Amino acid sequence: MSDQDTFAYAKLLDRIMPLDRGDRYEDPLQEALAERGFGEVTGGGTMQQKSGEIDYVGLDLSLTDLERSVPFVRSFLEEQGAAKGSALILSTGEAKRTIPFGLSEGIGVYFDGVSLPAEVYQECDINVVWEEFSRRLEGEAEIRGHWQGPTETALYIYGKASSTMRELLADYIESYPLCRGASPDIS
């Protein structure tokens, strides 16, 4: 980082694993920044809740030519699927400037992992749910990740509109035994 570079942090409201963060955001952005001479990605990280569930991911950036690089980074990350509520935080000396961005909406569907009848866990499979969700969401949204906690499992879905995602999944959530009590929450 030279004296003319500005430190920036891209806080991405995306609940994806570190390798997925690299594939979706970090590596493509590094390549695009280098191509244009706008700086570089200097690191990345994952913020977790006490439960171990991912809260958000972030990228450390060193940017040059802020007039051109900041709009480029925002637009590039939105094209990669950055969710609403994401932010680019610029640090210039003591001052910080936060620039919101993001277009996609996210929901997390949480499945009961302990309270359903034993036969439900024996006869049903979360992979079947994943496949059916993917089929129903095709063209509207994608499952980007999952989390398995001590009492529940979550699938994280991002797409154009959370209301559409909920509508496309509602009858399946009502009918498949493993989905009993599943709650699609805004993520």
Q: Which residues of the chain have pLDDT under 70?
A: 1-3, 186-187
Q: Give the per-residue pLDDT at 93.
A: 77
CA distance 171 to 22: 34
In a shared domain, residues 127 and 67: no
Total domains present in the chain: 2
Q: Please report whether residue 1 resides in a domain.
A: no
Residue 176, exposed/middle/buried by CB under 10 A (0-12, 13-18, 19+)? middle
- Residues 6+ away with beta carbon under 8 Å from 139: none
Task: Say if residue 112 is in the same domain as residue 91.
Answer: no
CA dist., res. 147 & res. 149, Å (int):
6
**How many residues are present in the chain?**
187
Whole-model pTM: value is: 0.90
Same domain, 24 and 61: yes
The predicted structure's pLDDT at residue 187: 56
**The domain containing residue 70 runs over which residues?**
6-101
Give pLDDT tens digits for 97-137.
999 999 999 999 999 999 999 999 999 999 999 999 999 99
In a domain, 114, yes or no: yes
Contact status, residue 53 vs residue 72, Cβ threshold 8 Å = no
Please tell me whether residues 56 and 85 are part of one structural domain. yes
Beta carbons of 45 and 57 less than 8 angstroms apart: yes
pLDDT confidence of residue 1: 44
Verify that 121 and 159 share a domain, yes or no.
yes
CA distance 142 to 129: 13
Query: Can you give the CATH number for the domain in which 97 is found?
Result: 3.30.70
Q: Which of 101, 117, 135 is the last residue of a domain?
A: 101
Q: Are 155 and 133 in contact (CB under 8 A)?
A: yes
